[in-house]
Amino acid sequence: MEMLLAGNWVERNAVIEVTDPDDGTVIDTVPEATTADMEHGLAAAERGAKVARGLPTHERMAVLLRAAQRLEREVEDFANLIAREGVKTIREARKEATRAADTLRLSAEEARRIHGETVPFDQRPGSEGRFGYFVPEPVGIVAAITPFNDPLNLVAHKVGPAIASGNAVVLKPDSKTPLSAIKLAHLLLESGLPEEVLQVVTGPGSVVGNALVRDPRVRLVSFTGGKETGEAIIRSGGLKRYSMELGSNAPTLVMNDADLDLAVPAILSGAYWAAGQNCLHVQRLLVQRRVYGEVRDRLVAGARDLRTGPKVDEATDMGPIIDAPNARRIHEMVQEALSGGATLLTGGGYEGTHFEPTLIENAPRSSSLARDEVYGPVTILQPVENLDEAIEVANDVDYGLQAAIFTRDISTAHRAVSALHYGGVMVNDSTDYRIDAMPFGGVKGSGLGREGVRFAVHEMTELKVASFVLS
């Protein structure tokens, strides 16, 4: 596939091979862009920012709505591409493609809601006879850097709100999964997006990514990825705005009064969706002692029933890890926990990129599985005596994206929501729940700002005040 620069689809002699994580088959190639390519893209984005700023609201809406409608008609094509280049099964990929269409539609609807307010300046003595207001304006150029695990919908979550709010976008998709992003860019241009409003630059983060975030013309960096990379971006990017989702180590609490028929299937889905390569992955499970044994046994049986295999097979429940080095990394984290005294309940092995659904009991709280993000199909279980202990353990990490609790008691639920230091708390659902309209983001090491279409639009605009002295 080609990349999009200054309204043109361009090739380069140097290419990056995009392979299927299932078997390493080369699906396609994309250009390996250079810093000169990024400079070309940024120069075009400067022109595109002026065009985007001048687009009437109804035109922004129309482009996004047409794109959403076309994506809905092409869900199966997008789903097959998502499944082939990434880690999702075909059934998971269909859901992502459908959600991406909804994200674009939400972006179109949000465009009409971008407005300001009047300011009563005469609230201060001496300011009588004044009238004024504030309005949100586009930041200008948005840098969008996306990960491999949601190669379509997370692109839509950055590009859709940027277009809705009148910005130009320079998109750098993950080099492992750039094809869905390029296909979406085609669809947006075919839906009437003006040339130069969107650039898609494919290449190594160490080359084109660094050039993108350091450039002073970029006024907002929207990044989804690892904490270390996010911190490096802020250090090199300088004085500009950042919206970052940097991962998690998400806890799910199960109280004695929980509805286990509701909890167990939700936990299994949250633990093994996209083979655990998900920032909302159920990584830590804190279960009150009276129901601990039953929860453990039901989860072990459920994990063993999951079918792994080729992603395009409709019967496959869980696909592969994105590449062999990451599979080895996950295995090393498991082995570290086991060496520290944890018990392997099921799984733990892997072959190539296919990792078994894994459950581990009593991992040491100092282990990397208990403290860091595994980004793989591994969940650790720990019994707790009461809600206070569960909350203390849940909060004892440098992450805070989403937490969850299963309980029938409304007071228990409210206590947990108040005491858990997370950007979201899901009650009677797993941590792996999100709709594209809600504010999404975390505290501590989980990032800065909030996504979700309305809230991303807020991040991508700046307020301007006007004050008039009326004679």
In degrees and rounded to multiples of 5, residue 21 shows phi and psi of -60, -20
- In 3D, which of 156, 120, 155, 114 has the Cα closest to residue 136? 114
CA dist., res. 231 & res. 189, Å (int):
33
Tokens of 464: 């301007």
Tokens of 317: 């429940």
132 within 8 A of 465, measured Cβ to Cβ: yes
- Give the Å distances, CA to CA, from 290 to 7, 310, 410: 62, 39, 19
**What Rg, from alpha-carbon coordinates, does the chain have?**
23
DSSP state of 306: P
- Does residue 279 have an active-site annotation? yes
Helix (H, G, I), strand (E, B) or coil at 183: helix
- In 3D, which of 215, 64, 229, 214 has the Cα closest to residue 146? 229
CA dist., res. 417 & res. 332, Å (int):
34
Catalytic residue among 96, 196, 245, 451: 245
Catalytic residue among 85, 96, 110, 279: 279
CA dist., res. 13 & res. 112, Å (int):
43
Residues recognised as catalytic: 245, 279
